[in-house]
Chain A
Amino acid sequence: MNSSEYLKDWNLFFKILGSRVGPRTNKKIWMDLEFFIVLGSRYANQDPRTFTGFINLCSKIGTILSPFKLKKIANELLEKEEEYKILGFIVSTIQRNVRNKSQWNSIIKELKDKANIMHEYKLFSSAAFKKEPTLGQWGIISSKLELDDPEKYLNLEKLFKVPIIRNRFMGLKAVYSDLLSFKEYYGENESLNSISKRIYHDYNSVYQANENILTAS
């Protein structure tokens, strides 16, 4: 998949998750949740409204995300210093709202090493008259964002109804939730080995989850 296809898919999946920015659509798409978050550090800065909506989304669903999976995907996917800076900002925003803070510390430390925060990066390609200090901690230059108004660019009601989000909030482990969500969209044809790669879980966990789901049904 090339980068413009990824961008298109990312925007589409963000609409499914409740983004109020950009045209409405009824198209459906599946994307792994943590993959979507990591990819957001590359594509969310297309405009301030999209970025604000995305950060608010990350903050709202931070408690159901897997820090280990995010780290794994970031290591596979990210290349540029600015992508590490943005993911660093996302992760530190999430960390403020979660109880398992220590689990997030190792990813924050790793991102800080790769982000080179002394080197400033203009988030929207321009300077800021007054800089947003929380972004500055990651070497990112931007004016203020409307981070205290989560509903403005994000439909929270829609977000919490999306099955993968709802399932995780109801306590379903990430591997079960991801497996069910993948199968719901793609059907049963793909091998567990292939699925495990697409949902970024190890084969044994996916195999075990699949066995348990089959037994339960």
Chain B
Amino acid sequence: MNKPDLLLKALDDLNLELKKENRFIELTIVGSMALYLNGLNFTRMTEDIDYINYEATELFKLITEKIANKYKLPLDWINSRAHEISPLPKDLDSQLKTDNRYSNINLSYIDTETAIIMKVYAYYMRELEKDLSDLKLLSPTAKQLVKGIDYINEQIKHHHGNKQLKQDSGDIQSYEEFLKNELI
């Protein structure tokens, strides 16, 4: 069984446990699992399920820990680290896709373009090789790269203001050139 299928199986268990407790949750999946749900089968990419827009309850934590032990997954096999990203890309909500396979989890996930925008931002911020490698596999268009760069600008402006954005503009421009050379 490959990793994304295993994670979906784990999500299936989560759904069954929620059903037993008569609880319903809404999860919006971002990151590599969203790409898998979009039909892109990059199995080596997917290591966990990243969600946003949901505050984990104690029950949720207990169930997911139990499932981690059952399938020998890391305890953070489902996590909200991406929740810290704020503001989210502008069109995220309108571009969300839904997956109706679970009775007690209202599952939605970002589309490929939003994933690319977030990856462009992630590589700029974290400078991790895996983000660049994922971008190569996603083969973004020049237009999508520009949207990613716009998102970086929005983030910096939102968190640090226009002055910082002006200071960083040279670096961001070099980054855009770099991505165009490497990916287009």
* B-binding residues in A (CB < 8 A): 20-24, 47-50, 52, 123-124, 126-130, 132, 142-146, 151-153, 155, 158
Q: Is the interface of B mostly helix, strand, loop or mixed?
A: helix
**Is A124's CB under 8 angstroms from B133's CB?**
yes
Write out the residue numbers on chain A whose beta carbons fall within 8 Å of the beta carbon of B132: 124, 126, 128-129, 143
Residue of A nearest to B182 (CB): A126
Residue of B nearest to A153 (CB): B47
By size class, the interface of chain B is 20 to 34
**Is B44's CB under 8 angstroms from A21's CB?**
yes
With the chains together, A23 CA to B45 CA distance in Å? 11
Closest 5 CB pairs of A and B: A143-B129, A48-B129, A23-B2, A48-B130, A130-B127
CB distance from A17 to the nearest CB of B (A): 14
**Is A47's CB under 8 angstroms from B127's CB?**
no
Residue of A nearest to B136 (CB): A126
Residue of A nearest to B124 (CB): A129
**Is B47's CB under 8 angstroms from A20's CB?**
yes
Task: Count A/B pairs, Cβ under 8 Å.
Answer: 76
B1 at interface, CB cutoff 8 A: yes
**Is B44's CB under 8 angstroms from A22's CB?**
yes
Option from B6, B124, B130, B179 in Cβ contact (under 8 Å) with A24: B6
Option from A126, A143, A153, A155 in Cβ contact (under 8 Å) with B128: A143
Residue of A nearest to B183 (CB): A126
CB distance from B130 to the nearest CB of A (A): 4
**Is B2's CB under 8 angstroms from A124's CB?**
no
With the chains together, A49 CA to B128 CA distance in Å? 10
With the chains together, A129 CA to B177 CA distance in Å? 10
Write out the residue numbers on chain B whose beta carbons fall within 8 Å of the beta carbon of A144: 126-129
Instruction: Take A22-B44, A47-B44 as given contacts and tell me if A142 and B181 are in contact as well, using a CB distance cutoff of 8 Å.
Output: no
CB distance from A44 to the nearest CB of B (A): 13
B3 at interface, CB cutoff 8 A: yes
Which parts of B125-165 form the interface with A (CB within 8 Å)?
126-133, 136
B36 at interface, CB cutoff 8 A: no
